[in-house]
Amino acid sequence: VQLQASGGGLVQAGGSLRLSCTASGLTFSRYCMGWFRQAPGKEREFVTAISSSGEFTNSVDFVKGRFTISRDKDKKTVYLQMNNLEPEDSAVYYCAAAESRSSHRAYTSINSYRYWGQGTLVTVSS
């Protein structure tokens, strides 16, 4: 199984980025997909997730209204559209896959995720 994340980079505060994560080696439709992030010196934290059906999402409060997760089953890719970025959003962003017990679940717990991508660095300058 591989999760290949891309799309990170340097952006000014208020700007936008779109991260992508393409999965291979797994049945994409059976997996909830999530994005996590880890800033230097901090623990990895949940950002947002989308159910295997694509119908349900969960997000932490500090990204609601700014970040949007979506998935494309044909491309086996999950996206994270990030708008109005803030310096506090600077981190390595990881995509992850959780085998779903229900097509309606968008898991928030890091322990639910079995497979992880390599991470992509997002730096937001003030």
Q: What is the pLDDT of residues 103-119, one digit of tens each?
A: 899 999 999 999 999 99
Span between the terminal Cα atoms of the chain, in Å: 37
pLDDT in tens, 16-70: 999 999 999 999 999 999 999 999 999 999 999 999 999 999 999 999 899 999 9
DSSP string, 40-90: TTS--EEEEEE-TTSS-EEE-GGGTTTEEEEEETTTTEEEEEE-S--GGG-
Q: What is the pLDDT of residue 51?
A: 98
DSSP 21: E
